[in-house]
Amino acid sequence: MVPGLKIDEDSDVPVYRQIVDGVRAALAEGRLLPGGKLPPTRELARQLGVNRNTVVAAYEALAAEGLVTSHTGRGTFATEPAEPSSEAGSAAFLAGGEWLTSFSRAVEGPGVAGLLSVYRAAMSSDGISFAGSYPAAELMPVERFRSALDAVLRRRGAEVLSYGPTSGYPALREAIAADMRSKGSSAAAEGILVTNGSQQAVELVFRTMLDRGDPVVIEEPTYTGALSVLSSLGARIVGVPVDEEGIRPDLLALALERHRPRVVYVQPTFHNPTTHVMGEVRRLEVLSLASRFGCAVVEDDWASDLRFEGADLPTLHAMDGGRRVVYISTFSKKLLPGLRVGWVAAPPAVLERLVALKQIEDHGSSPLLQAALHEFLADGGLAEHLDRVRPAYRERRDIMLNALKRRLPDGVVWARPEGGLFLWVTLPVGIDSTDLFVAARERQVLISRGELFHADGSGRETFRLTYASVRPAQIETGIAVLGELIHERWGGRSENAARRVDEAVPIL
Amino acid sequence: MVPGLKIDEDSDVPVYRQIVDGVRAALAEGRLLPGGKLPPTRELARQLGVNRNTVVAAYEALAAEGLVTSHTGRGTFATEPAEPSSEAGSAAFLAGGEWLTSFSRAVEGPGVAGLLSVYRAAMSSDGISFAGSYPAAELMPVERFRSALDAVLRRRGAEVLSYGPTSGYPALREAIAADMRSKGSSAAAEGILVTNGSQQAVELVFRTMLDRGDPVVIEEPTYTGALSVLSSLGARIVGVPVDEEGIRPDLLALALERHRPRVVYVQPTFHNPTTHVMGEVRRLEVLSLASRFGCAVVEDDWASDLRFEGADLPTLHAMDGGRRVVYISTFSKKLLPGLRVGWVAAPPAVLERLVALKQIEDHGSSPLLQAALHEFLADGGLAEHLDRVRPAYRERRDIMLNALKRRLPDGVVWARPEGGLFLWVTLPVGIDSTDLFVAARERQVLISRGELFHADGSGRETFRLTYASVRPAQIETGIAVLGELIHERWGGRSENAARRVDEAVPIL
């Protein structure tokens, strides 16, 4: 159906990439015309003898590139040129680049395509999105942040519009360190590096510590963005299952003994995606194991300020005195993602190298946004904002829990998080969350499918639902759609629910 | 003089890093006390039997870490704890991290320390800085940019404070493509990726195309930030000398034939650091060679909008139709560094991978700053700003040329740039620009020493002087200091000037 498209099974080029290249070539050579319809993913998968998800990934990459457009219910079409003014550009855009056929291993790992597809799914503004772990846009302190920016520009405009120190705006580093100290950490401003969101912090930390082929221990499942970084670095991923208290210490000990990694990456509080919180005893066990095996613990603490119930627990960084723990956090989830401000606190030998790599990657983050954020924090803006969003998120969580209970069959289970932005759902046997994702997307409801949080493509019995950024009425509507779709697929086969318990994966 | 400090010549740890680690250990173990004076660099170098520059690099790394402080004329001292409030933090900061002794190859390359040291030298606000290629802070359009930010926040605050598309804010991508089209490029918005300054663009492009050990052809000398990226990636750097028309095509052909690189990196207009402009014939030769040997040309066009004399030349990207050229530029030099906005235009197969890697590195740049920049551009702010800075930079260039002519001996030579931010100076035989750098810094005048622009540490007969960000009176004073120092070192040995011509390195 795409003339000339063939898959070479012996090629080193990933299959989805062969499909992308084949469609691009068909377009460039006029075998596929603008406006022409591409075969449905299921059909092309059958024709080529490949997994349907491979075709889905290829179509998503083509859509990202602007070469195809998907219309819900109608199918996927080769994009028509948009405007006459950019026609010449589009032609060159389509025709160019075929000469360059090989790239670095950093961009050819399997996790690279996965990240883009989950991101695009989450960004879609049509319909109801439970994908993406975003804070509520309508609760953002826009006015107050505008004032902070304005004040900073009036007071020290040229300074903050110039280059700043690579490690970060000094007053912001001090404010971050002071906040960490108020939570029991022994943090000093000189031990903080400001990054472009916690994604860059995760990337810099792993890149500073891992060479291609080096082992790294992660929780299974874990944050998609961490998996993508590890894929780009060619790290050898050793997944250790989590239970309701976080990473399992018995299996962690085995993994450390066997693989001797330099780094263990954990999210002790409101773990993404399971929402589990590591208990204090478990935290001590993890630190003790890390000490015994001489490895660093990377603590990704993106959500602990978003607790709306229950008691705070000390961070690993606070418990350890910052000796063995590299601590990562961000203002994206608790405040404003568009600032792109996160940070890492690390011991000096690590920090020195992180700053060097930050300098190499982008010469430092914008002093303007850092200065405005400092102004906002100094003025008490964050505390006020948290007072506003925490009850709102609790309310949305309750609305979602209530809707799930009413709309979903008994075999479906989920946890009740005490903070953060989302829920984690486990399906009964026989329902595949990737199928559910595709079906729900047709109904304009987006979820985060479980396999995105696993390095090995497992986790298809799970998915993640964000409540924080969805308005209450939409939560109700969206969960109703999911309920219908699950009922359609599963009917009342309640015996399966029991079977799931026997086959329980460690995350349950 | 630093108790217990020893160098292990058989160690894999670079010598400067051994010094850093030794001083840190001395501090942690109380062998060196806060406030204690470190030996002068020359003396410690002699004691340890190492090159003095190695000690300079070590002291700069220690200063970056906050462990030592340099006081002009007095020497270098172990830092005293700053405030009681952060004492606990500082103690942990000093004591921690010794357990972690090995890092990835990405952060252990020789170029990593070099980048930090040049950067710190340039950032120093004491005295007169001819280092760093910065635009003039006092000419920045602060008020107008403040209005643009304000307007965007009032109109679409929550949108631009949320996550945005990884590839960039759509209206900004379109504005960038339109500007490139107005200069003859066939660029379309979908072929643009917005980055955190051109440094991130350079980093993403090289990281997408190069694996460890892969050859890459660069101009010799070249941009320090590109060298650092290549060092972090472990690329095999093949330098090709430049003459007054840019990279030498005879030697480029030899390098391409012999090393078969995937990438050639050039700055055709106002080459950093030499300020040379590649003529149109030379541009065609470079494109033709790239085509013959099947490699990509990375065109770093950071300065062509800063031309204040002479006629514009077409970019390689425009000449080639964007097929083989990956084009990089930035708003940092022509507008506001603190925005951290640059971009890359690339053929689709390349762009797709750049976007994926950008997503992995930091999830995309701030939509707020991109939207405000778009607003500023749409309002004509850039054109007006360029009308203001171009004559100012020409005036500062003339003041510097005049001062050089009056203050420096005959054997010193320099080019007369028609745009950009700096001048490139070549010294007569017998004067070392690294020595001059150290001596000038003692007099509170900063220059960029030539070896920073060379992968192999050569170039010590050259240095770079930025005029754009220095006020006219300071240009006069600073050049007078350099004149005195060069006279002191060189006296009137004019026979050396002739000798230099015989030994001329290709950059002359």
Residue B365 carries which DSSP code?
-
Q: Indicate the SS3 state at residue A150.
A: helix
- Most confident of the following: A62-71, A439-448, B86-95, B491-500: A439-448
Q: Residue A93 pLDDT more than 80? A: no
ipTM for the whole complex: 0.81
C-alpha to C-alpha distance for A94 and A28, rounded to whole angstroms: 6
Record: contact B357-A177, CB cut-off 8 A = no
CB contact under 8 A, A229 and B162: no
Q: What is the CA radius of gyration of chain A?
A: 24
Has domain A128-138+384-502 been given CATH number 3.30.70.20?
A: no
Q: Which residues of B touch A209 (CB under 8 A)?
A: 103-104
Q: What is the pLDDT of residue B122?
A: 58
Q: B137: nearest CA in chain A?
A: A158
E-state strands within B122-255 = 128-129, 192-195, 215-220, 236-243, 246-247
Q: What is the mean pLDDT of chain A?
A: 88
Measured between beta carbons, the chain A residues lying within 8 angstroms of B115 are 356, 359-360
- The confidence score (pLDDT) of residue A118 equals 58
pLDDT: which is higher, B246 or B33? B246
pLDDT for position A120: 62
Mean pLDDT of the A150-166 span: 96
pLDDT value at residue B222: 97
Binary contact (A197, B142; C-beta < 8 A):
no
- Interchain pair A134, B359: CB under 8 A: no
Q: What is the mean pLDDT of residues B272-298?
A: 96
A180-196 residue pLDDT tens: 999 999 999 999 999 99
Q: Tell me the shortest Cα–Cα distance from B387 to chain A, in angstroms.
A: 19
Q: How close does chain A come to B94, measured CA to CA in Å?
A: 7
Q: Residue B309 phi/psi, 5° resolution?
A: -155, 155
**Mean of pLDDT values over A376-405:** 98
Distance, in Å, from the CA atom of B6 to the CA atom of B48, rounded to the nearest integer, reads: 7
Inform me whether the pLDDT recorded for B125 exceeds 80. no
Residue with the two structure tokens 């914008």: A366
What is the average pLDDT across B30-49? 83
Q: Which of A142, A317, A352, A375 to mutate to test the interface with B (most CBs of B within 10 A)?
A: A352
Does the distance separating the beta carbons of B365 and A338 come in below 8 Å?
A: no
| Confidence at B147, pLDDT banded by 50, 70, 90 | very high
User: How far is the alpha carbon of B367 from chain A, nearest alpha carbon, in Å?
Assistant: 6
- Report pLDDT digits (tens) over B452-501: 999 988 999 999 999 999 999 999 999 999 999 999 887 655 444 444 43
**For A427-474, how does the pLDDT look when each residue is reduced to its tens digit (9 = 90+)?**
998 899 999 999 999 999 999 999 999 998 899 999 999 999 999 999
CATH architecture of B142-381: 3-Layer(aba) Sandwich (3.40)
For the segment B345-357, what is each residue's pLDDT rounded down to a tens digit? Answer: 999 989 999 999 9
Fold for the domain defined by A142-382: Aspartate Aminotransferase; domain 2 (3.40.640)
Residue A464's pLDDT is 97
Of B160 and B6, more confident: B160
Domain layout of chain B by residue ranges: 15-102, 128-138+384-502, 142-381
Can you give the pLDDT at residue A5? 84
Give exposure, A308-337, as e/b (b: 16+ Cβ within 10 Å). Answer: beeeebebbbbbbbbbbbbbbbbbbbbbbb
**A370 vs A71, A247, A319, B363, B370, CA distance in Å?**
40, 34, 28, 17, 16
CATH number attached to the domain at B15-102: 1.10.10.10
pLDDT > 70? residue B82: no
B177–A89: do the CB atoms touch at under 8 Å?
yes
User: Does the structure show a pLDDT above 50 at B200?
Assistant: yes
User: Residue B94's pLDDT band (boundaries 50, 70, 90)?
Assistant: very low
The verdict on whether omega for the bond into residue A249 sits within 30 degrees of 0, i.e. cis, is no
Q: Residue A362: which of B66, B162, B340 has the nearest Cβ? A: B340
What is the pLDDT, as a whole number, of residue A124?
58
- pLDDT computed for residue B459 by the predictor: 94
Cα–chain center distance at A162 = 31
> pLDDT band at B167, cuts 50/70/90?
very high
**Which is nearest to B298 in space by CA: B225, B209, B211?**
B209
Task: Please indicate whether, in this complex, the C-beta atoms of B97 and A348 are within 8 angstroms of each other.
Answer: yes
Point out the residue among A95, A347, A366 whose CB comes nearest to the CB of B340.
A366
Dihedral (CA of A483, A486, A492, A494) sign: negative
H-state helical runs in A65-141:
87-95, 110-123
DSSP B128: E
Q: Please give the residue that has the higher pLDDT: either B430 or A485.
A: A485
Pairwise CB contact (< 8 Å): B89 & A187: yes
Q: Name the pTM for this structure.
A: 0.82
